[in-house]
Amino acid sequence: MGILNIRRDGVDSPAMTLPEAPENLRPTQEEVEVHRDVSSGVVRLRTTEWRAPHVDPNSTPIVALPGVLAPRLSYRALARCLSSEFRVIAVDFPGFGESEKPSLQRYNYGVDAFADAIADLFAGLNIAQAHLLGHGVGGAVALKLAAGHPEFVKRLALIAPLAPPASNPLNFRHLLAPVLGGLLLRQLIGKSWFFRLYRERINPEISSELLDEYYEALSPPASRGALLATLRASQDTRSLIADSRRIRAPTLLLWGRDDRLFPVEQGRYLAREMPHTGLELFSSSHAPHEQCPEEAARVLAAFFDGRRAGSRS
């Protein structure tokens, strides 16, 4: 499979070697990876789009929202499995990855502000409607956007989203302290701690090369400040249940049976609260799109294509 990476500045970047994908999800031509900066209201967001050349560039895209400990490129393996059938556009939230990092005085970090930024992004990308995919905090943002702007969302898929009864799931009690938290997060938390945390709570199988990439994305002081502000703003998740009951788009929850961050019982609880919702379980931890991208792509392709709605398990 040929892969052409096209950067916004026109310079090609190296392609990542992927595991073999199922025939129906394996691109047969060159796959295009395009990086763009897009104005979204008051902030600039960095996006990456994947699609095979035969996929209509004006077709309904999948807009993918990451968690806060991983950049948009954490969707790369999944997106390349889906790109033979869909456009996939992944986004870095304000303050994270390669998006603009406004100061805490200028920007109110959290799920509500991120949902507004993604709503504005639709206009910046000239998208009338999209399938929405979110993981962790990104799942909470996708849920909030689908509840507040149902006209934007055709189908909604949430990978272990932040939602009740979750509270401080990473046990960052010290980080949430007003003064000590900022000191710890900005100065004392290093690469070995981040690697251990990610492997213990999110994806035990992730490579050191990818973790290096994720860690570098969170290394700038402005990104660490954005992470701290987002974690503090995400402690009270009660409003998300009320939002979930307002969603009318067909919805699929994806959950790892071995999720150590948000146990699968939380997924079953959320599925009962949400109308038009199915629950699909994977033999994975908190990030099935990273651990088993081909399997997750098969499920998501069928769901976004309207061939299935998931099953409660």
**Mean pLDDT over all residues of the chain?**
84
Q: Is the pLDDT of residue 115 over 60?
A: yes
Domain boundaries, the chain: 3-304
pLDDT value at residue 172: 52
The DSSP 8-state label assigned to residue 106 in this structure reads: T
Encode 71-85: b = buried (16+ Cβ within 10 Å), e = exposed: bbbbbbbbbbbbbbb
The contacts of residue 216 (CB under 8 Å, 6+ apart) are none
Residue pair 312/278 in contact by the 8 Å Cβ criterion = yes
Q: List, in sequence order, every residue forming a beta bridge with 256; answer none if it has no partner.
A: 282
Scanning the structure block, which residue is given the tokens 């992730």? Answer: 206
Q: Please give the single-letter amino acid code of residue 302.
A: A
pLDDT digits (tens, 9 = 90+) for 177-218: 554 445 555 554 688 888 998 999 999 999 999 999 999 999
In angstroms, the CA 216 to CA 97 distance is 9
In angstroms, the CA 294 to CA 73 distance is 16
In CATH, what number does 3-304 get? 3.40.50.1820
pLDDT digits (tens, 9 = 90+) for 264-309: 999 999 998 887 799 999 999 999 999 999 999 999 999 999 987 6
Q: Which two tokens stand for residue 1?
A: 């499979």
Residue pair 206/73 in contact by the 8 Å Cβ criterion = no
SS3 state of residue 100:
coil
Q: Which two tokens stand for residue 172?
A: 């960052």
pLDDT value at residue 7: 34
pLDDT value at residue 233: 87
Q: Is the pLDDT of residue 153 over 60?
A: yes
pLDDT digits (tens, 9 = 90+) for 235-259: 778 888 889 889 999 999 999 999 9
